[in-house]
C-alpha cells in the first residue's frame, strides 16, 4: 500500500516558513555546499565568506589539547574519569564548568565585572539560549524590538517555535547605524498602536553584522529606555572577545553597576562559538540577573544541555589562566591583522567598509555604488552575480533587515591567508572591470609591499585560467 504524505499530517511548525531559511543568507550557504572552493581540488569553487567563524587561533588550541591529555576522558591520562563524566546529567552542569565560564566571561570583559557561577545556565549554543530566553520572557504574539541590521538567525531562534515576534528598529548609515532613542521610541510606539505587546529589546554587542560596539552613552540610553517602558533587555555578547582595537568593549554588566536600573530586566546571552571559535561544541549560556528566569531557564536547559564531556574539557581549558590570557591577546591581534589586510585590500579598489567597525569576524561592505537600482531587487541581483560568477558567498544586507540596499556582510576569519588573497583578488578583479562605477582610492599596484598582497601565482591563475570565475564581466551578464 502506498502512503501519501500531505501537509495535514504535519504540524504548522513543520510545514510553515517560520524557520526563516528561505533567504539569500541561507541560499548562499547552499551555493557554497554545492561547489566549495579548495585551493588545489576546486580552485574555481565558491569561497565561503558567509560564515562567521573564528578559525585564526586553532594552532593555540591544538597545542593546549596536546599538552593537556588529562582534560579529555578519551585519553589514557584522562580515562579514569570516563565513567563519572559519562553518567553525569545534572542540568546545573559541572560546577567546575560554571566556575570556569564565569571567570572567562569576566576576563573577556577586562575583569571589570564578576559573574556569579550560580546564574550560569547552559544551552545548545547561543541559538538555544535565545530561544530559551524568549520562552521565559514572552508569550506567543508578544514581541521583541531588534535594531537593524541584525543576525538573520534571530528570526528562527527567537520566533520559530515560541510564536514570538521581532520588530525591527530601523538604524541608518547616516550615523553609522547607531541605535538612537528616537528609533527605539518610534518602533515601540508603532508596535503599541498595532496592539502588539512589546516584552523586550534585543541588542547584539558587538554587532553582527556591523562589527561595531555599542558605546557607553548608547548603552546607558538603552538601559533607561527599557526601564521607563518596563520591558526586558536581552544582550547578545557572543562577540565580546573579538574587539581588536579601540574603543574597548563595554558590557551591559558594567553599565548596570553604574546606572540605576531594575536588574530583573537584564539578561545576557553568551556562547563560546565566536570568542573561542567552538561552534561545534554548542556551548551556550543564559546569564540572567532575574532569579525567576534563572530558575525557569535551568529547568528548560534539559532540552539543550552541553554534553558533560565537553563541559569537562572546557572547564579545564578555561581554568588555565595563562592559556586564556594568551589566547585572548593572540586572537585579537590576529583578527586585527586580518581585518586590516582585508579592508586595505578592498580600499585599493575603492571599496569601503563601515569605518566604525573594530570587532567581529566580518566587515560590513558598502557596494551601493555598484547597484544598478537602489532597491532590494537591485541588491539581490548584485548578490547573485557575486555568488554565481565572482564565486564568493557574501551575505546581502536585506537578509539582516538592513533598510538601505547595497551593504554586504563579508566574513574573513574562517579561512587561511591564501584563501583570503584569492577572495580579495576576485573582488578586485570584479570591481576593476567596472571602475567607471567605483573610483579607486589609490593608484593600483599589484606587487611589492602593498597590503593587497596577492601572490602573483594566485593572480595569474585567476586571470589566465579559462575557467576563471572572473574571466568574464559579471555585471555584463547581470545586465542581460
Ligand X SMILES: Cc1ncc(COP(=O)(O)O)c(C=O)c1O
238 scored as a contact of ligand X (CB under 6 A): yes
Select from 210, 81, 201, 75 the least CA-distant residue to 134: 201
Is 317 in contact with 60 (CB distance < 8 Å)? no
Select from 317, 360, 454, 321 the least CA-distant residue to 56: 360
Report the DSSP beta bridge partners of residue 198: 143
Q: How far is the CB of 181 from ligand X (least distance, A)?
A: 23
389 scored as a contact of ligand X (CB under 6 A): no
Q: Which of 44, 72, 162, 204 is close enough to bind ligand X by CB under 6 A?
A: 204
Site for ligand X in 151-170 (CB under 6 A): 151, 153
Total chain residues near ligand X (CB under 6 A): 14
For residue 285, report the phi and psi dihedrals to the nearest 5 degrees.
-135, 135
* For ligand X, the closer CB: 117 or 152: 152
Q: How far is the CB of 411 from ligand X (least distance, A)?
A: 10
The three cell numbers locating residue 461: 591563475
Site for ligand X in 127-146 (CB under 6 A): 127
Q: How far is the CB of 235 from ligand X (least distance, A)?
A: 11
DSSP string, 103-162: HHHHHHTTTSS---GGGEEEEEHHHHHHHHHHHHH--TT-EEEEESS--THHHHHTTTTT
Residue whose grid cell is 554586504: 408
* For ligand X, the closer CB: 115 or 154: 154
Q: How far is the CB of 369 from ligand X (least distance, A)?
A: 27
66 noted as active-site residue: no
Q: Which of 48, 273, 331, 428 is close enough to bind ligand X by CB under 6 A?
A: 273
* For ligand X, the closer CB: 402 or 462: 402
Q: How far is the CB of 201 from ligand X (least distance, A)?
A: 15
Q: Which of 28, 147, 277, 284 is close enough to bind ligand X by CB under 6 A?
A: 284
Binding mask 33-52 for ligand X (x = CB under 6 A): -------------------x
275 noted as active-site residue: no
Q: What is the rounded distance in angstroms from the CA atom of residue 186 to the CA atom of residue 199?
A: 15
Q: What is the rounded distance in angstroms from the CA atom of residue 382 to the CA atom of residue 317?
A: 44
DSSP label at residue 38: B
| Burial of 60: CB neighbours in 10 Å, binned 0-12, 13-18, 19+ | middle
Q: How far is the CB of 150 from ligand X (least distance, A)?
A: 8
How many C-beta atoms surround the C-beta of residue 451 within 10 A? 14
Q: Which DSSP helix (H) or strand (E) runs through 202?
A: strand 198-204
Q: Which of 85, 102, 120, 126 is close enough to bind ligand X by CB under 6 A?
A: 126
Q: How far is the CB of 154 from ligand X (least distance, A)?
A: 7
User: Among the candidate windows 81-89, 119-127, 220-228, 341-349, which touches ligand X by CB under 6 A?
Assistant: 119-127
CA dihedral 465, 394, 237, 286 (to 10 degrees): -100
Q: Choose the catalytic residue: 120, 238, 314, 470.
A: 238
Q: Choose the catalytic residue: 142, 236, 275, 366.
A: 236
406 scored as a contact of ligand X (CB under 6 A): no
Q: Which of 72, 165, 205, 208 is close enough to bind ligand X by CB under 6 A?
A: 208
37 noted as active-site residue: no
125 scored as a contact of ligand X (CB under 6 A): yes
Full strand arrangement of the beta sheet holding 395-396? 352-353, 362-366, 407-411, 395-396
How many C-beta atoms surround the C-beta of residue 341 within 10 A? 18
274 noted as active-site residue: yes
User: Among the candidate windows 87-95, 123-131, 325-333, 442-450, which touches ligand X by CB under 6 A?
Assistant: 123-131
Burial annotation 374-392 (CB, 10 A radius, 16+ → b, else e): eeeebbebbbbbbbebbbb
**Nearest residue to ligand X, by Cβ distance, number only:** 125
Q: Tell me which residues are annotated as active site.
A: 151, 236, 238, 274
Catalog residues that contact ligand X under the rule CB under 6 A.
52, 125-127, 151, 153, 204, 208, 236, 238, 271, 273, 279, 284
Amino acid at each position: 500500500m502506498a502512503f501519501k504524505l500531505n501537509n495535514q499530517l504535519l504540524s504548522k511548525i513543520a510545514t510553515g516558513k517560520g524557520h526563516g531559511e528561505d533567504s539569500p543568507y541561507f541560499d548562499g550557504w547552499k551555493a557554497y555546499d554545492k561547489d566549495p572552493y579548495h585551493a588545489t581540488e576546486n580552485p574555481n569553487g565558491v569561497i565561503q565568506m558567509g560564515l562567521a567563524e573564528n578559525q585564526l587561533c586553532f594552532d593555540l588550541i591544538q597545542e593546549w589539547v596536546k599538552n593537556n591529555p588529562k582534560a579529555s576522558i578519551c585519553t589514557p591520562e584522562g580515562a579514569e574519569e570516563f565513567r563519572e563524566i559519562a553518567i553525569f546529567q545534572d542540568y546545573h552542569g559541572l560546577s567546575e564548568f560554571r566556575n570556569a565560564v564565569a571567570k572567562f566571561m569576566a576576563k573577556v570583559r577586562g575583569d571589570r565585572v564578576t559573574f556569579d557561577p550560580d546564574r550560569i545556565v547552559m544551552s545548545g549554543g547561543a541559538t538555544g539560549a535565545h530561544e530559551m530566553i524568549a520562552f521565559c520572557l514572552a508569550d506567543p504574539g508578544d514581541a521583541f524590538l531588534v535594531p537593524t541590521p541584525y543576525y538573520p538567525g534571530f528570526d528562527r531562534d527567537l520566533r520559530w517555535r515560541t510564536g514570538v515576534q521581532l520588530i525591527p528598529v530601523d538604524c541608518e548609515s547616516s550615523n553609522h547605524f547607531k541605535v538612537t532613542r528616537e528609533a527605539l521610541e518610534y518602533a515601540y510606539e508603532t508596535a503599541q498602536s498595532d496592539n502588539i505587546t512589546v516584552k523586550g529589546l534585543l541588542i547584539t554587542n558587538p554587532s553582527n553584522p556591523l562589527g561595531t560596539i555599542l558605546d557607553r552613552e548608547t548603552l546607558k540610553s538603552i538601559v533607561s529606555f527599557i526601564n521607563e517602558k518596563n520591558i526586558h533587555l536581552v544582550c547578545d555578547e557572543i562577540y565580546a572577545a573579538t574587539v581588536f582595537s579601540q574603543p574597548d568593549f563595554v558590557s551591559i554588566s558594567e553599565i548596570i553597576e553604574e546606572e540605576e536600573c531594575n536588574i530583573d530586566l537584564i539578561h545576557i546571552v553568551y556562547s563560546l562559538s565566536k570568542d573561542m571559535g567552538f561552534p561545534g561544541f554548542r556551548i551556550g549560556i543564559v546569564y540572567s540577573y532575574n532569579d525567576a528566569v534563572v530558575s525557569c531557564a535551568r529547568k528548560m536547559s534539559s532540552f539543550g544541555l552541553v554534553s558533560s564531556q565537553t563541559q569537562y574539557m572546557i572547564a579545564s581549558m578555561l581554568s588555565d589562566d595563562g592559556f586564556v590570557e594568551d589566547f585572548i591577546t593572540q586572537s585579537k591581534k590576529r583578527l586585527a591583522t586580518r581585518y586590516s589586510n582585508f579592508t586595505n585590500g578592498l580600499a585599493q579598489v575603492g571599496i569601503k567598509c563601515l569605518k566604525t567597525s573594530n570587532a567581529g569576524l566580518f566587515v560590513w561592505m558598502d557596494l551601493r555604488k555598484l547597484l544598478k537600482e537602489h532597491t532590494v531587487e537591485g541588491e539581490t541581483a548584485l548578490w547573485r552575480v557575486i555568488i554565481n560568477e565572482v564565486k564568493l558567498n557574501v551575505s546581502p544586507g536585506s537578509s539582516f533587515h538592513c533598510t538601505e540596499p547595497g551593504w554586504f556582510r563579508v566574513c574573513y576569519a574562517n579561512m587561511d591567508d591564501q584563501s583570503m588573497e584569492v577572495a580579495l583578488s576576485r573582488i578586485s578583479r570584479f570591481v576593476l572591470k567596472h571602475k567607471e562605477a567605483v573610483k579607486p582610492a589609490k593608484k593600483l599596484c599589484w606587487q611589492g609591499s602593498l597590503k593587497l598582497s596577492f601572490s602573483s601565482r594566485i593572480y595569474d591563475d585567476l586571470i589566465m585560467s579559462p575557467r576563471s570565475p572572473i574571466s568574464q564581466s559579471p555585471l555584463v551578464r547581470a545586465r542581460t
